Structure 1
């Protein structure tokens, strides 16, 4: 089964992988993904805005051409026909399945068949560090990126069809996620260079012709992008940030922080939400992948070698943010792992026992990670169940917000499971701050909620806040209900607020003076 190319023999492996990948979605009513429910809240608002006076007082639709519209269009449609929590599960399933399917398709193109190794590696990619962050559009874009790369390679002998269909795929990818489109362009360049080098050093005319064909794919997206408000973010932002740190005498501190974040993102690429476990798991995973290449147990398809090498370089040099997109250095390791998952194959000259052992280790890593993920999400599910019950029992009134003070003080305290709590209030009829920057999303926050949003941003940026001081800031902004997460077993009393409900680690406070 490990070395066969027969699809029938792969069916039990594929079925096992899909089953193991679905289980985490089923053990919790809400997924512990940091930003995911902020996006779900926006889709819900856009879907229900025309029919809700409360929403109209606090939000305005801002539909326009943007490079990250893919899931806003799809998610808004989903929220019109499904209950929000069920719709969120469906969207989560899509962004988990997209990279998985993209890897399988690209691998099929590269090798002519699928393998057990590819299936288990794709399963490892399905749940990842970027998913825990909840970056939905990027994950959908990653799946399209991999599939579009596969089509470009598959259609090499049909240049007109290749260029036409790939240009359409590129435009689609641009509207799903602009960064994914830019990375895809770089990868296609590496693929074309690899093909050109296949029979020796190509002449300048060959390289120019290939570059011109790739440029044609980028013409329409580039013209559209320059017309969008997103372009105002520019490439100058990371440079100006770096200069500001240098002027303040904190350049080296910032560089050391960036180095740590890059190592952290690299090791936690296939995350389970248990930080210490994930570091050890990452060392083992990358050790097995790199060790297998060094010892010749498996090999990278020659067409993808330069693309994988480019990812390694980008991990080191890419700025932390660009055009309003953050955590760039944490996204590249995922792209690198996805490319390896699609392009790795067992070396026929390696000993069969070595092949079997290596694939068994990858399979074991996949099952272990999913087991840890399922256990962690099951525990978080109990927290969400009690919170949803509290929302159903209490009137959370007009304006709500989250105050996660401990996260701002110490990143090691940060728990992704706390972040969705504030956004869930929107389904209870309470307006909450969410991602609503018209330069990046088709939504704008207005009215009284704009003041609450400013207060939330202030609390997140200032590390000296205590829970009472954060509540005071939100009270001044007229927030009715706030949710907090704390390591304290018993939530403290806060002047001017009543405790509606509490189940560790969350507590729901309501402003006494609100009407």
Structure 2
């Protein structure tokens, strides 16, 4: 009797709720979240919300709302941006993604095992995985929704019309969030059925039960009917090494040694939990099959799929997450509680490292953004970015930082995503549409010399001059090392940062 309150306090569901609430901290505790792509997402949300009004943005951009499989964060963020602005709206929706993912982990664990397990707690650090750190926010929100849908699918007892309708609607919602999240949901559903197959006669009932999940094929065919460009691209020099790096980098984003050590600690803790199960069947078959299917998908995925980069980078952490979650709970409750506490401890390490990495740079990034005061409101800002070093492990928002010019100066900037067949907005000027979208800000840092490609830098600056940008922000090159740009002068500079504006 004396251990009852303690057991409840240390129950996995209680610890999971604590983790979900704490997962809000990294995004809300800093003024500039450290997601790599978040500034560009934020700018897009602001444009989608404001471009139809009589703002300078309407002179640069045209909005094309369409039903595509890449709207997970866009829909709620754009809705909120009408009242809160793109910056705050994006932060609030982004903050909810990790807690929702943890909720999906807990729900799926309960559906698969009959209760929330210690292995689910071991999987919680993977809610803050490298795809999340990259800022693949539509995808990450879609994965959270896919996990929640799979939890309902694993536990449903009937397949009457109302349940089938709910499943079809859920599939459409997940697909709308991101197509890769829908593919993950399909693999989870397939694993759910494969684990229960006993004979060939079970195949058709299994297909029938899951047919509503295929409802998104209709909008998919409509969306891709007029697609163009390379849908699949392989660009691997050493595919084995690259794929190993993808899996090893599942927690990439802060410091390499810490991220790798934490992933190793999760792996060792999962092995310990596996040894402690005390059961003949140590792994839950549905989660294990789903993990194997996702791992195979990550290994087979090309570099670009449907014009989208990094399918394997997105999928690998989810495969590892499901492998860990598949470990059955220990029969010995003391050992199971210890696994839960280990999981919470590992989550707190991940949470702390991400929050520290972001908070330690937030003031510096805000200081850099004061450069935008020199940009004319409603003007055109060209951004040139050279990365600081050849060490590419840490993921930061520096490459897209100038996107804040959209929300703070209503200015055009050349950092926005313009993926073929997934464009919710386009640039009115066809020449700018062709030349000045995402990646046009990059100038190569030659490695291992740590030397800027001077020719490329000169060409980029001259191209911006020819297209009459009102201001040019060069990041990663000291002002004294910049080549002269006729008609422009340096008005602000910080270490390796310079703002040039047109002479008037």
TM value normalised by structure 1: 0.84
Question: What does the per-residue CA deviation read over 1:385-415, in whole Å, with 9 as the maximum and x for residues that have no partner?
Answer: 21233334653661113222337x9463875
Whether the 8 Å contact between 2:382 and 2:471 is mirrored in structure 1 is yes
Matched, 1:477 2:467: yes
1:436-455 superposed matches below 5 A = 436-437=418-419, 439-447=421-429, 449-450=432-433, 453=436
1:203-282 superposed matches below 5 A = 204-218=200-214, 220-229=215-224, 232=227, 237-238=231-232, 241-242=233-234, 254-256=236-238, 258-282=239-263
Q: 2:345 aligns with which of 355, 364, 369?
A: 364
Q: Distance in 2 between matches of 1:79 and 1:270?
A: 30
Q: Which runs of 5+ in 1 are unaligned?
A: 246-253
Matched, 1:194 2:195: yes
> Structure 1 residues 267 and 322 mapped into 2: Cα distance closer, same or farther (>3 Å)?
same
Equivalence for 1:502: 493
Q: Distance in 2 between matches of 1:367 and 1:69?
A: 30
Moved over 6 A (4+): 1-5
1:279-290 superposed matches below 5 A = 279-290=260-271
Equivalence for 2:381: 400
Deviation for aligned residue 1:317: 1.5
Equivalence for 1:331: 314
Whether the 8 Å contact between 1:397 and 1:481 is mirrored in structure 2 is no
1:93-108 superposed matches below 5 A = 93-108=95-110
> Structure 1 residues 143 and 26 mapped into 2: Cα distance closer, same or farther (>3 Å)?
closer
> Structure 1 residues 344 and 327 mapped into 2: Cα distance closer, same or farther (>3 Å)?
same
Q: 2:290 aligns with which of 291, 307, 320?
A: 307
Question: What does the per-residue CA deviation read over 1:249-304, in whole Å, with 9 as the maximum and x for residues that have no partner?
Answer: xxxxx241x43443233223234422333223323323332454366579432332
Secondary structure of the residue aligned to 1:276 is: helix
Equivalence for 2:360: 379
Q: Distance in 2 between matches of 1:61 and 1:14?
A: 40
Tell me how many residue pairs correspond in the alignment.
Answer: 488
Question: What does the per-residue CA deviation read over 1:123-182, in whole Å, with 9 as the maximum and x for residues that have no partner?
Answer: x12322011111111111101101111111121334444322111101111111111112
Equivalence for 1:133: 134
Q: Distance in 2 between matches of 1:106 and 1:3?
A: 25
Whether the 8 Å contact between 2:46 and 2:85 is mirrored in structure 1 is no
> Structure 1 residues 121 and 459 mapped into 2: Cα distance closer, same or farther (>3 Å)?
closer
Equivalence for 2:173: 172
Q: Distance in 2 between matches of 1:388 and 1:130?
A: 25
Whether the 8 Å contact between 2:72 and 2:139 is mirrored in structure 1 is no
Q: Which runs of 5+ in 2 are unaligned?
A: 447-452
Equivalence for 1:54: 56
Q: Distance in 2 between matches of 1:111 and 1:318?
A: 30
Equivalence for 2:481: 492
Deviation for aligned residue 1:68: 1.5
Q: Distance in 2 between matches of 1:146 and 1:131?
A: 15
Question: Which range is displaced more, 150-159 or 458-467?
Answer: 458-467
RMSD over aligned CA atoms reads: 3.3
> Structure 1 residues 474 and 172 mapped into 2: Cα distance closer, same or farther (>3 Å)?
same
Equivalence for 1:512: 502
Equivalence for 2:399: 419
Whether the 8 Å contact between 1:68 and 1:441 is mirrored in structure 2 is no
Equivalence for 2:113: 111
Question: Which range is displaced more, 31-40 or 363-372?
Answer: 363-372
Secondary structure of the residue aligned to 1:185 is: helix
Whether the 8 Å contact between 1:455 and 1:477 is mirrored in structure 2 is no
Whether the 8 Å contact between 1:401 and 1:456 is mirrored in structure 2 is no
Q: Distance in 2 between matches of 1:435 and 1:2?
A: 54
Q: Distance in 2 between matches of 1:384 and 1:330?
A: 26
Whether the 8 Å contact between 2:378 and 2:410 is mirrored in structure 1 is yes
Deviation for aligned residue 1:482: 3.0
Question: Which range is displaced more, 22-31 or 421-430?
Answer: 22-31
> Structure 1 residues 491 and 13 mapped into 2: Cα distance closer, same or farther (>3 Å)?
farther
